[in-house]
Copies of this chain bind each other. A is one copy, B any other.
Amino acid sequence: MATHTLTVDLGDRSYPIVIGTGLLDSGFDLFCYLEGSGCLVISNETVSPLYLHKLKKCLTNDEVRCHSIPDGEAQKSLATVEAILDELVETRAGRDTTIIALGGGVVGDIAGFAAACYMRGVAFIQVPTTLLAQVDSSVGGKTGVNHPGGKNLIGAFHQPRIVLIDTDTLSTLPDRELRAGLAEVIKYGAIADIDFFAWLETNMQPLLDRDAEALTYAIRRSCEIKALVVAEDERESGKRALLNFGHTFGHAIENSMGYGEWLHGEAVAAGMVMAAQMSGIDEDELGRLTALVDAAGLPIRPPLAGSARLREAMQMDKKVQANQLRFVLLRSLGDAFVTTEYSAVALEEVLSMADA
């Protein structure tokens, strides 16, 4: 199958997203994207046994060091980044070193932030191995870690040199994580492309069956949309906020449940249905979104933890967001907008979905 290359257009910091099957097996030349000859791979204990030896074939370095961290969101802390910086200093990595992230969103966020901070910024490469990372977190340069007081509060914008997406890596991804990734794929259709949304309605089963052609197309279209938005608004001063469709409610769900209980994609899935309902789009379209989320095996309503807990979590978010909650709402499927003005009644109605 063909390899597709997209470009994230950011002037002299533009970079390619290369999408295809068998890229790691065929020894894709990643070496030419390194700044110098040295690199450090950041991965985790689940992914590195599966793919590190393949990644090494894409690099012609004599020795490729790998810093492997335990799996899970709990690792996304400043302490983990510090340990990576310590290793870089200990091995005397120079300004010309390159950090390579091999793994999902957590690995990419941590590795990218370490790359952003070491010697005021060294080169960075993303090799995402989960669907969520491939369609969302690996593209666009957001890096960072969590603070006990909130998610992603510490970080930097640091764009990679290349995003290398080998769809074969999805073969080892647990079903639940595949579905969580599909939430973000559905998001792109819902906010920006009704045709893609319709394609997803037709092709959800092949996607769940991990049909390589369907997955490649879904990833490619998702990355195309994300790349366009990021090129227009790298630092989220405007349009990039559209990518947060479903995320205000999603974060509230994640926060109120404790992270890890619901996967990010699951929380976003329910959050998208809530945001669509709050938008007051017509019933047909709301039904289509709900049905597609359901077909992906994702939750179509928040956990029955009570609206009070969600409201509280949103108040916390609100304070962090400088006292204004911002929602991404839909005019119709495929047409989203950002607003701080919303109906309090509609919000309460949606939050009540969490009451038994």
Contacts and interface: CB of A to CB of B under 8 A. Distances in A.
B321 A117 contact: no
B116 A156 contact: yes
Interface in A45-102: 78, 82, 85-86, 89-90, 92, 94-97
Nearest to A319: B92
Interface residues of A, number: 38
B157 A95 contact: no
Contacts of A142: 120
Copies in the complex: 2
A298 B66 CA distance: 47
Contacts of A147: 85-86, 89
Contacts of A96: 322
A148 B89 CA distance: 9
Which of A116, A121, A322 has the most chain B CB atoms closer than 10 A to its own CB? A322
B116 A85 contact: no
A98 to B, nearest CB: 12
A77 to B, nearest CB: 11
Contacts of A144: 120
Interface in A278-323: 319-323
B82 A119 contact: no
Contacts of A322: 36, 38, 94-97
Contact of A82 (B78, B120, B143): B78
Contacts of A149: 86, 89-90
Interface string A183-220: 00000000000000000000000000000000000000
A94 B153 contact: no
B94 A320 contact: yes
B92 A153 contact: no
A245 interface: no
A207 B116 CA distance: 40
A118 B153 contact: yes
B156 A121 contact: yes
A195 B152 CA distance: 50
Which of A144, A153, A323 has the most chain B CB atoms closer than 10 A to its own CB? A153
A120 B156 contact: yes
A304 B155 CA distance: 44
A17 to B, nearest CB: 21
19 contacts: A78-B78, A78-B82, A85-B147, A89-B148, A89-B150, A89-B153, A89-B320, A92-B320, A94-B321, A96-B322, A116-B156, A117-B156, A118-B153, A119-B152, A120-B156, A120-B157, A120-B235, A121-B156, A121-B157
Q: Closest 6 A-B residue pairs measured CB to CB?
A: A94-B322, A89-B149, A92-B319, A120-B155, A96-B322, A117-B154
Interface of A: 36, 38, 78, 82, 85-86, 89-90, 92, 94-97, 116-121, 142-144, 147-150, 152-157, 235, 319-323
Given A86-B147, A94-B321, A119-B152, 19 more contacts: A38-B322, A85-B154, A89-B148, A89-B153, A89-B320, A92-B319, A92-B320, A94-B320, A95-B321, A95-B322, A97-B322, A116-B156, A117-B117, A117-B155, A117-B156, A119-B153, A120-B143, A120-B156, A120-B235
